[in-house]
Structure 1
């Protein structure tokens, strides 16, 4: 009786708790009544996963004592509750429950019974496959590969609805224990490695370690129904966060589109500025090129006036007025040249005003607010093309440099147009003065006689002296034009670089806008897609509506739970052989007598 109680207690400890509700209660045509039934299937596999013996511990919840009928394709059965014999006829097992409560019995399944899962365990030592029997006591780099898959010959109901908990123990003395996708926990002097295989999934698990004097308790697999409902309350905030992300991406895309439009306008303005600057540069170049001729002509006039003045300073009777008569024509030509110069300066001033206006407007379009290094770093994290962003940042830096340079030289640019106005007025005034002088000289020559020669001499002397000042001013003016032409050449080169930079900037922003548009198109439906995936996952793994069925016979209708406990054989070193002690020789009478007196 004591041994029977031990069987009963052992069976009670082996049975895992039930996770499922009771099935429909159907009374058998017997005197006893069963409220529910639990089945725990125990399977021992060889060390490589090949199938070994299988038995089932059945737990019947007896609601009314008496004879009870159960079903199962067993090779043999054993009562684990009392000494009563069980009657087995084919698949029918009749038992006599003397009282209400739990009744345990074991059914041994016949050889060839298959589990719902195929299990394969492979061992590699130092990269070479080793048979389990040859692995005990070895040392080196160990790899254990555990594979689970569906056994299509055993039906799919358990494979589709049960999750597997695969665990194994390794001593803490082993080094570098690793398990990809597995959980490693301390369990006393051992490390416990646990993997979870979801329902309907094949899995390949790997454990690696550096072992010494290897021994192994085997792989343990518990298969239980995946009936715990999945809590989805946390998914709502997750999809909301994803929605905020897609909204932010849309705002980023809209902002980049506005940036692309503004950069396009900036690039157009820079192009117009470059073209106007080119015209201005060519005009001032021509003006500078004619300065030498203008100075040479003025120098000739100055020399002629000096000669005339020197000639008139002598005796009036000896003065040759022929050269003086040629003076009005030279002065008239110079006056015309100055007038042409003034007209050119007027055109030049007009073109400069347009170019300066375009330059000022384009540069002021460049945003004054500068991006921080943190903002640029965030832009690189947005997922845009890094090469495009490099061009964008380089163009942005160039634009900010041009804006800074312009801000420092803006007053100089603004002073050019008033200076041109003053220069034009001065040149026109000189041209008018020369025309007046020409008129006065011509009149004087027509009306001159020796009595008025002294007045003519004084007038020519004053003209020669004043013209020297005029010539000096003209030389200074042409020198200024030369410096302006040289300096503006450098400025124009900078404007060309600015135009090229804004062109690259526009191309970069266009690429960036394409990238953010593509990113938005790919992520705008992300919250809905994510929710669909969550719903799909819940539908795939939430088995809360699963109703258990018997593993041993479809005739069992009161099944509450069915669970599997699967274990591979251990790998142990062989026990050393011990020599049997030689039997002690029997001592004779005289020997015993001698020992008494020792």
Structure 2
């Protein structure tokens, strides 16, 4: 039917065209084999597809901009060629096309029935979720989905797939389609219709879809255009973004440096606390030893007190009957007593020195713990900052343990401070007592040979009474001292336990902060080049889509040169309901020539 209509149209043109247009090779002198020249050539590839996307017909309109009239040579494999400019004959020999052309535009058509397009296009239709053939879809009602898939055709030069973008348009009549939805497309008004437009970028496969509610389904043919993406893409101004990213990387660097300083501080704190723990353990061992020796010291003091009392009472009761021979042994006993007192004083002196050293280390370590007050709100803000919660937990536990240890020490510091003065006082008293006993022994020794026994014994008895009385006071102080040592030993267990917990916490804290330091440093090393990387990625993305340097080639033959543009115009067949045949006889009225000619063009 189409060929018959074209025949009628051509016949009508022959009837009305002026004679000079019917002359072959118009514009070129007959018999002159002059070679023409053209400045460029355009190719427009027309193709029709069935509703499923299968190829049906392909032809190419070749357009030349002739600058010197004469014979033009083109190349292409066609099943048929047709002059669209004038009635001059076109010679075709295999893939060589020759035609005469005058200056200006020259058009000819070449049919390529078996030619493949650069894209494989597949169109699928679904009715109420079920796949359906398009020839069964006309007139149907329901939920419609149209899915379009485009991929590269490996049998065609890939230059078109790599440099051309596809634009696919569907015109949807409002009396047929409603509630239109699309994935990846744009819906716009096109006259009374809704137009859905999809764009597939170069080197990309398309997976497109449109959904709608349809009543009495019909669909106009889809329009598919393929043109080179020849526009140059300017790089966006990245200064603001890279400046912000640089600010971010600088902030990360500061965080990394701060965490590094924190790691150093925590390491120093951990070293100090571990030293404190070791010193505290030694101090606790010393206090326990002192406390263990206190009972022996008290027992010895009781024995001395009892001995002095007994000696004083014996002298008082047996003044007249005393065997003075035993008196000679008294200086030696007193000297042994003085020696024992001096040994006790030496032990107390060594204890005092060790205690002073341990207490100084303990006080220095406890005082080194920062006295910062961290509120609950500040701790909550730290948790909300996004830092590692496990490390924050370690920090908080260490902070609480440090506060507990420091608080306990503050409560017991007075007892700690009282120990050294007490030791000094006790040591001095023992020294004074030892000196008195030695003096007494010396005087007794010197007086034994020439003395008034009664007077001497009386003085001795009075001296022993005084010594016994003073020693009772010393013994009471010694008992108080040992009780204090016992209480200090018992209380220090809690202090030492807190210090041990603090040390354990700082060890875990040091390990956690070390990991945090490594993590922040890794984060900085990973992000320090981020601004340059972003610019590089943007440049790479722009390069992928910037096809401004695309060298255009011919679609029909690699032998053709001076190619300006190659465009693809593709259309699918419409899906329409079959028209009912009319039973009424059509009576054709008598028409004139021009009416019949116009009717031919209208397809009547």
Residue 144 of structure 1: how far off its partner (Å): 2.4
Q: Answer yes or no: is 1:262 the counterpart of 2:265.
A: yes
Query: Residues 136-535 of structure 1: matches in 2 within 5 Å?
Result: 137=140, 139=142, 142=145, 144=147, 146-149=149-152, 151-168=153-170, 177=181, 179=183, 182-187=184-189, 194-199=197-202, 201-207=203-209, 209=211, 211=213, 217=220, 220-235=223-238, 237-239=240-242, 241-308=244-311, 316-317=319-320, 333=340, 336-361=343-368, 363-364=369-370, 374=381, 377-378=384-385, 380=387, 389-405=388-404, 408=407, 418-439=417-438, 442=441, 447=447, 449-535=453-539
Q: Answer yes or no: is 1:51 the counterpart of 2:58.
A: no
Residue 426 of structure 1: how far off its partner (Å): 0.8
- Answer whether contact 1:349 1:417 (CA < 8 A) is retained: no
- Answer whether contact 1:298 1:334 (CA < 8 A) is retained: no
Residue 276 of structure 1: how far off its partner (Å): 1.5
Structure 2 residue matching 1:234: 3-state secondary structure: coil
2: CA distance between counterparts of 1:513 and 1:441?
73
Q: Deviations over 1:530-571 (max 9, x none)?
A: 444444444433222334444345676565433223344455
- Answer whether contact 2:48 2:572 (CA < 8 A) is retained: yes
1: CA distance between counterparts of 2:573 and 2:292?
104
CA 1:445–1:509 in 2, change beyond 3 Å: closer, same or farther?
Answer: same
CA 1:294–1:161 in 2, change beyond 3 Å: closer, same or farther?
Answer: same
Q: Deviations over 1:139-164 (max 9, x none)?
A: 45847251322x23322332232122
Residue 527 of structure 1: how far off its partner (Å): 4.5
Q: Deviations over 1:435-468 (max 9, x none)?
A: 1342355457655832344444444444444333
Unpaired runs of 5+ in structure 2?
1-8, 14-31, 587-604
The answer for the alignment partner of 1:543 in structure 2 is 547
CA 1:195–1:255 in 2, change beyond 3 Å: closer, same or farther?
Answer: farther
Residue 580 of structure 1: how far off its partner (Å): 5.3
- Answer whether contact 2:405 2:498 (CA < 8 A) is retained: no
Most deviating of 496-505 and 555-564: 555-564
- Answer whether contact 2:415 2:488 (CA < 8 A) is retained: no
Most deviating of 38-47 and 493-502: 38-47
- Answer whether contact 1:335 1:434 (CA < 8 A) is retained: no
- Answer whether contact 1:39 1:58 (CA < 8 A) is retained: yes
TM-score computed with the length of structure 2 as normaliser: 0.72
Residue 57 of structure 1: how far off its partner (Å): 5.2
Residue 427 of structure 1: how far off its partner (Å): 1.5
Q: Deviations over 1:465-501 (max 9, x none)?
A: 4333322222222222122222222222222222222
2: CA distance between counterparts of 1:479 and 1:218?
108
Unpaired runs of 5+ in structure 1?
8-27, 381-388, 584-598
Residue 518 of structure 1: how far off its partner (Å): 3.6
Residue 393 of structure 1: how far off its partner (Å): 2.0
Most deviating of 282-291 and 518-527: 518-527
- Answer whether contact 2:119 2:150 (CA < 8 A) is retained: no
2: CA distance between counterparts of 1:231 and 1:404?
62
1: CA distance between counterparts of 2:193 and 2:457?
134
- Answer whether contact 2:84 2:109 (CA < 8 A) is retained: no
Structure 2 residue matching 1:152: 3-state secondary structure: coil
Residue 202 of structure 1: how far off its partner (Å): 3.5
Residue 231 of structure 1: how far off its partner (Å): 0.8
TM-score computed with the length of structure 1 as normaliser: 0.73
Structure 1 residue matching 2:230: 3-state secondary structure: coil
CA 1:221–1:508 in 2, change beyond 3 Å: closer, same or farther?
Answer: farther
2: CA distance between counterparts of 1:123 and 1:178?
14
- Answer whether contact 2:308 2:468 (CA < 8 A) is retained: yes
Structure 1 residue matching 2:52: 3-state secondary structure: coil
**Aligned counterpart in structure 1 of residue 109 of structure 2, from 100, 103, 107:** 107
Report the structure number with the largest CA radius of gyration. Answer: 2
RMSD: 4.6
CA 1:393–1:456 in 2, change beyond 3 Å: closer, same or farther?
Answer: same
CA 1:489–1:410 in 2, change beyond 3 Å: closer, same or farther?
Answer: closer
CA 1:162–1:579 in 2, change beyond 3 Å: closer, same or farther?
Answer: closer
- Answer whether contact 2:345 2:431 (CA < 8 A) is retained: no
Residue 431 of structure 1: how far off its partner (Å): 0.9
The answer for the alignment partner of 2:565 in structure 1 is 561
2: CA distance between counterparts of 1:262 and 1:165?
64
- Answer whether contact 2:43 2:63 (CA < 8 A) is retained: yes
1: CA distance between counterparts of 2:154 and 2:208?
24
Q: Deviations over 1:491-536 (max 9, x none)?
A: 2222222222222223223333333444444444444444444444
Residue 227 of structure 1: how far off its partner (Å): 1.1
Structure 1 residue matching 2:155: 3-state secondary structure: helix
Residue 112 of structure 1: how far off its partner (Å): 1.0
Most deviating of 243-252 and 394-403: 243-252
2: CA distance between counterparts of 1:508 and 1:291?
45
The answer for the alignment partner of 1:116 in structure 2 is 118
